[in-house]
Amino acid sequence: MWNLKRVWIVLVSATLLYANAIDIEEYEEVQQDKQMPARKPFNYSNVVLPRPTVGLLYPRESEMREVRSLDGVWQLIKSNASDPLQGIREEWYKQTLRSTEHEIILMPVPASYNDVTVDQQLRDHVGTVWYERNFFVPSYWSKDRVRTWLRFGSVHYQAVVWINGQLAMRHTIGHLPFEEEVGRFINYGNENRITVMVDNRLGNRTIPQGQVTKQPADNGVAYVQSYTFDFFNYAGIHRSVHLYTTPETYIKDVELKTQIGNQELGRIDYRLIIGNGSVSTIKTNYMLVQLRDRNNVVVAHQINHNLQNGTLLVPNVKPWWPYLMHPLPGYMYTLEFQLKVDSEVAPLDVYRLPVGIRSLSWSNDSLTLNGKPLYLRGFGKHEDSDIRGKGLDNAVLMRDFNLLKWVGANAYRTSHYPYSEESMQFADEHGIMIIDECPSVNTDLFEPQLLENHMSALEQLIHRDRNHASVIAWSIANEPRTKKKSAEAYFGALANYTRSIAQGRPLTAASNVDPPPACMMSQFLDITGFNRYNAWYHNPGRTDMIVQSMYDEARKWHEHYKKPVIVFEYGADTMEGYHSLPAYIWSEDYQTELFSKHFQAFDKLRQLKWFIGEFVWNFADFKTEQTYTRVGGNKKGVFTRNRQPKDAAHLLRQRYHAIAFKLDNASLPADLFNYIIDWN
Ligand code: GCB
């Protein structure tokens, strides 16, 4: 019955999309959880696997492509929380937002809308907001038979987009890009209007999950969104909006796999999808593939009449190495694809993408890059900053990478969702390794439709990030409720599916349940990860209860699953400027002491070679939902929210650089240790 109903919904929605309208009942059915089906235990073998994502190459200019930004100041109106879909019923997209009766708020894009104004209702809004702006498209874009695409880097959580009043696209799940060819909606050589409805409501089947409840309030009722995850549910158009062109026949998708062979021979295997009809109709074409080094010198090239795949060999390759593991970290080449027609000089299409060449492999006790075992020293992070919320800000992003390098980190986990594509590019260039996490956090109430959405989140993430040298593992979840027996079949199915699309990376996740055998997920992973807050949530104040406990627990995880082990989270909330001797929780002194004890445990564990990484929680302080355990947010940052160091940052820096020195002979920064005395 359930499946029939869903087939019906899919059919109706396909018809409505065609008919250029949104059906409110269907929208709510997909968006919100109505009721949980009663049938249990679930049979996950019937879940509908996600349709593979195709396209979505990062918009890059070339001689055959133009990119225009639609970032800037948009107009925004907030719908009434009691009637989030009023705008669809009243067809607000057919007119300007100004002609509705709502107050126009000016809103920067990209940014979360929550903290830009001083309006508490907008900060805590539940439901939909509507964005709008006008833009021009030159007339020559249509004449040259180009295709026009509209691409969003991410909108949280659900987006519906209209152009000139016509439905252009929809997307669900935040933090991931989506695009559509929009030429048919555009007035070329004229002004156009784009309208975006953004819905921040989370339900039992969204990724991540949340709940909206109606509660009595002084002026009637209030709609309250609650969630168990520990970061603010920022919403809005979070990343850049691009309008870009491709030629009629174009390079639609590129998939890369790289390897380092013997005698410094690099290898790039590529798979291509050409847009416009079948490959056979353009068989007189060929692909000129060129690899350029950092100085723009062509170091390998190839003419390939097969437009679907090929292999490029790179002699004397400069491998991609992580920061401080090699004197030349983050070496990136540019891989250039030129789609050519024999008789013509000008190519049909040109697309260039950065590529780092490296081999990645793993075993039951190691993770190796270019044949060398890795030891990861890093952070769990957040995309979070003052005023902008989760909005992309290149200044903050660059500051973060400067701090990561200052502190000597070589890795971070994109806790708890995919980070911006720009941050992935920075990670490639700086040699920072990424554990790439999908937006599943505190997942509970396991059932098939949730699994389908979870699979889709991973599919979209892997498709987006598969070509990044920096990505060394996929994290399928953070702290799901895996003590429950019902988690076992769910994660078995999820891991099976994810492994089938994993693009040469191991699977991991962060578990916080008791040491084995309590976790019903970790058995399906290639790398065991756990989060543990010794001397914070467990035994607060007792820094004398860290070393042995951490050591024993990590060993238990390894003995049980026989996989490499990473500690993905440990740490302590710390108020900047609060000091206490002897150390007392929440003080800077306590954070420093707690770190130091963990370092002792990690050093003992490092002797056992399966222990492959330590990640502090968190890189910087970040905003959370309002609650009495958080003073202005989560304060476990090593840096403040404004990206200045707390005391513990200096200790961490000494450790991370010292590890790089011990393991990879990296040179130490001259200012790592302050002068104290001449000991001789
Ligand atoms: C955790 C979560 C993280 C929280 C952290 C904390 O285990 O994974 O999202 O922010 O604990 O500080 O409580």
Q: What is the pLDDT of residue 262?
A: 87
Q: Compute the average pLDDT of residues 423-447.
A: 97
Q: What is the 433 CA–ligand 1 centroid distance (Å)?
A: 21
Ligand 1 site, residue 512, Cβ cutoff 6 A: yes
| Dihedral (CA of 241, 246, 248, 251) sign | negative
HSE toward the beta carbon, residue 430, CA cutoff 13 A: 24
Ligand 1 site, residue 617, Cβ cutoff 6 A: yes
Q: Is the model's pLDDT at 326 over the cut of 60?
A: yes
Ligand 1 site, residue 634, Cβ cutoff 6 A: yes
Ligand 1 site, residue 569, Cβ cutoff 6 A: yes
Ligand 1 site, residue 574, Cβ cutoff 6 A: no
Residue 404 Cα distances to 298, 398, 504, 533, angstroms: 32, 10, 26, 22
Looking at residue 597, its amino acid is K
HSE toward the beta carbon, residue 12, CA cutoff 13 A: 14
Kindly give the number of the ligand 1 atom that is closest to the alpha carbon of 415.
Answer: 9
Rg (CA), the chain: 26
Q: What is the pLDDT of residue 12?
A: 45
Residue nearest to atom 7 of ligand 1 (CA): 531
Q: Compute the average pLDDT of residues 280-290.
A: 78
Q: Is the model's pLDDT at 200 over the cut of 70?
A: yes
> Residue 372: which H helix or E strand, with range?
strand 372-373
Tokens at 222, concatenated: 């209030």
Q: What is the 149 CA–ligand 1 centroid distance (Å)?
A: 39
Q: What is the 242 CA–ligand 1 centroid distance (Å)?
A: 34
Q: What is the pLDDT of residue 520?
A: 97
Ligand 1 site, residue 475, Cβ cutoff 6 A: no
Residue nearest to atom 3 of ligand 1 (CA): 230
Q: Is the model's pLDDT at 25 over the cut of 70?
A: yes
* Length of the chain measured in residues: 680
> Residue 16: which H helix or E strand, with range?
helix 2-18
Q: What is the pLDDT of residue 8?
A: 47
pLDDT tens readout for residues 81-93: 999 999 999 999 9
Q: How confident is the model at residue 21 (pLDDT cuts 50, 70, 90)?
A: confident
Q: Is the model's pLDDT at 559 over the cut of 60?
A: yes
Q: What is the 247 CA–ligand 1 centroid distance (Å)?
A: 46
Asked if residues 178 and 281 have their Cβ atoms less than 8 Å apart, the reply is: no
Q: Is the model's pLDDT at 2 over the cut of 60?
A: no
Bridge pairing between strands 367-369 and 360-362: antiparallel
Residue nearest to atom 13 of ligand 1 (CA): 230
Asked if residues 666 and 324 have their Cβ atoms less than 8 Å apart, the reply is: yes
Q: Compute the average pLDDT of residues 368-385.
A: 98
Q: Compute the average pLDDT of residues 245-251.
A: 95
Q: Is the model's pLDDT at 578 over the cut of 90?
A: yes
Q: What is the pLDDT of residue 342?
A: 74
Residue 399, helix vs strand vs coil: helix
Q: What is the 325 CA–ligand 1 centroid distance (Å)?
A: 29
Q: What is the 15 CA–ligand 1 centroid distance (Å)?
A: 43
What is the percent of the chain with per-residue pLDDT over 70, rounded to a whole number?
94
Kindly give the number of the ligand 1 atom that is closest to the alpha carbon of 416.
Answer: 9
Residue 613 Cα distances to 52, 375, 422, 570, 610, angstroms: 32, 5, 25, 12, 9
Distance CA 614, CA 529 (A): 10
Q: Is the model's pLDDT at 300 over the cut of 50?
A: yes
Tokens at 490, concatenated: 């769910």
Ligand 1 site, residue 321, Cβ cutoff 6 A: no
Distance CA 554, CA 601 (A): 10
Q: Is the model's pLDDT at 18 over the cut of 60?
A: no
Q: Is the model's pLDDT at 278 over the cut of 60?
A: no
Cβ atoms within 10 Å, residue 264: 12
Ligand 1 site, residue 621, Cβ cutoff 6 A: no
Residue bearing tokens 């695409």 = 149
Ligand 1 site, residue 442, Cβ cutoff 6 A: no
Kindly give the number of the ligand 1 atom that is closest to the alpha carbon of 568.
Answer: 8
Sequence-distant (≥ 6) Cβ neighbours of residue 4 within 8 angstroms: none
Q: Is the model's pLDDT at 263 over the cut of 90?
A: no
Residue 243 Cα distances to 30, 330, 352, angstroms: 28, 30, 18
Q: What is the 571 CA–ligand 1 centroid distance (Å)?
A: 9
Ligand 1 site, residue 71, Cβ cutoff 6 A: no
Give residue 212's region: left, alpha or beta (phi > 0; psi -120 to 50): beta
Q: What is the pLDDT of residue 26?
A: 78
* 3-state helix/strand/coil string of 38-62: CCCCCCHHHCCCCCCCCCCCCCCCE
Asked if residues 418 and 382 have their Cβ atoms less than 8 Å apart, the reply is: no
Q: What is the pLDDT of residue 282?
A: 61
Q: What is the 451 CA–ligand 1 centroid distance (Å)?
A: 23
Residue 610, helix vs strand vs coil: coil
Residue bearing tokens 């679930």 = 42
Distance CA 274, CA 635 (A): 48
Ligand 1 site, residue 478, Cβ cutoff 6 A: yes
Asked if residues 498 and 476 have their Cβ atoms less than 8 Å apart, the reply is: yes
Q: What is the 230 CA–ligand 1 centroid distance (Å)?
A: 6
Sequence-distant (≥ 6) Cβ neighbours of residue 639 within 8 angstroms: 403, 619, 620, 621, 645, 646, 649
Q: Compute the average pLDDT of residues 488-510.
A: 98
Residue 368, helix vs strand vs coil: strand
Closest by Cα among 193, 139, 138, 145 to 165: 193
Ligand 1 site, residue 636, Cβ cutoff 6 A: yes
* Concatenated DSSP letters of 108-147: EESS-STTTSS-HHHHT--SEEEEEEEEEE-THHHHTT-E
Sequence-distant (≥ 6) Cβ neighbours of residue 33 within 8 angstroms: 203, 204, 205
Q: What is the pLDDT of residue 152?
A: 98
Kindly give the number of the ligand 1 atom that is closest to the alpha carbon of 571.
Answer: 12
Q: Is the model's pLDDT at 419 over the cut of 60?
A: yes
Pocket test for ligand 1, best of 412, 417, 617 (most atoms within 8 A of CB): 617
Pocket test for ligand 1, best of 415, 531, 635 (most atoms within 8 A of CB): 531
Distance CA 191, CA 135 (A): 6
pLDDT tens readout for residues 144-182: 779 999 999 999 999 999 999 999 999 999 999 999 999
Residue nearest to atom 10 of ligand 1 (CA): 230
| Dihedral (CA of 88, 123, 210, 160) sign | positive
Q: What is the 479 CA–ligand 1 centroid distance (Å)?
A: 9
Pocket test for ligand 1, best of 228, 230, 443, 629 (most atoms within 8 A of CB): 230
Q: What is the pLDDT of residue 388?
A: 98
What's the chain's average pLDDT?
94
Q: What is the 437 CA–ligand 1 centroid distance (Å)?
A: 14
Tokens at 661, concatenated: 């020195």
Distance CA 500, CA 505 (A): 11
Residue nearest to atom 6 of ligand 1 (CA): 230
Distance CA 397, CA 422 (A): 9
pTM: predicted TM-score of the whole model, two decimal places: 0.95
φ and ψ of 382, to 5 deg: -145, 155
Give the angle subtended at the CA of 587 by the CAs of 586 and 591, to the nearest 5°. Answer: 85
Pocket test for ligand 1, best of 381, 569, 594, 627 (most atoms within 8 A of CB): 569
pLDDT tens readout for residues 34-44: 555 555 678 89
Residue 554, helix vs strand vs coil: helix
Q: What is the pLDDT of residue 143?
A: 77
Kindly give the number of the ligand 1 atom that is closest to the alpha carbon of 442.
Answer: 8
Name beta bridge partners: 107.
Answer: 74
Pocket test for ligand 1, best of 443, 479, 574, 641 (most atoms within 8 A of CB): 479
Asked if residues 364 and 561 have their Cβ atoms less than 8 Å apart, the reply is: no
Q: What is the pLDDT of residue 360?
A: 98
What is the percent of the chain with per-residue pLDDT over 90, rounded to a whole number?
89
| Residue 294 DSSP label | T
Residue nearest to atom 2 of ligand 1 (CA): 230
> Residue 302: which H helix or E strand, with range?
strand 298-304
Bridge pairing between strands 376-380 and 611-617: parallel
Q: What is the pLDDT of residue 15?
A: 46
Q: Compute the average pLDDT of residues 524-548.
A: 98
Q: How confident is the model at residue 13 (pLDDT cuts 50, 70, 90)?
A: very low
pLDDT tens readout for residues 630-676: 999 999 999 999 999 999 999 999 999 999 999 999 999 999 999 99
pLDDT tens readout for residues 47-98: 999 999 999 999 999 999 999 999 999 999 999 999 999 999 999 999 999 9
Distance CA 159, CA 127 (A): 12
φ and ψ of 502, to 5 deg: -75, -5
Q: What is the 649 CA–ligand 1 centroid distance (Å)?
A: 19
Any idea which residues carry the catalytic annotation? Answer: 479
Q: How many angstroms separate the first and last alpha carbons of the chain?
A: 82
